[in-house]
Amino acid sequence: MADAKRTTIEQEVTETKKVPAVTLTLTIEEAEALHVLAGNVTGDVRLSPRKYTNRVYYALKRAGIHTHDKPLLTQLSGATRWLNEPKPFSSSYPF
């Protein structure tokens, strides 16, 4: 006698989706400036938006943008750091 039971199994599914995207056209100088900025942002590479600035940095690098020997690096002042969680909004900001 045949017997069947309904159940649920785990199965990995790979799908292709259309998602919104942006195409950005830059001059070499603009791309170098963005490369320097994206390469100097700190923060957690998994839990903060730094994962996105890292992707921009490496995409520009794959496109042939290299700034390690450029004086542009010495023009950057200060530091930018992505937080894992947004700061609470305060209306007391001076702008």
Q: What is the DSSP string of 49-84?
A: THHHHHHHHHHHHHTT---TTSGGGGG--S-EE--S
Query: Looking at the domain assignment, is residue 53 inside a domain?
Result: yes
Which DSSP helix (H) or strand (E) runs through 41? Answer: strand 41-42
Structural domain harbouring 58: 28-75
Query: Looking at the domain assignment, is residue 65 inside a domain?
Result: yes
Q: What rounded mean pLDDT belongs to the chain?
A: 89
pLDDT above 70: percentage of residues in the chain: 93
Query: Looking at the domain assignment, is residue 38 inside a domain?
Result: yes
Q: In whole angstroms, what is the distance from residue 47 CA to residue 53 CA?
A: 13
Query: Looking at the domain assignment, is residue 64 inside a domain?
Result: yes
Query: Looking at the domain assignment, is residue 83 inside a domain?
Result: no
Q: Stretch 30-59: mean pLDDT, rounded? A: 94
Residue 4: pLDDT band (50, 70, 90) is confident
Q: In whole angstroms, what is the distance from residue 25 CA to residue 47 CA?
A: 29
In this prediction, residue 15 carries a pLDDT of 93
Q: In whole angstroms, what is the distance from residue 11 CA to residue 48 CA?
A: 29
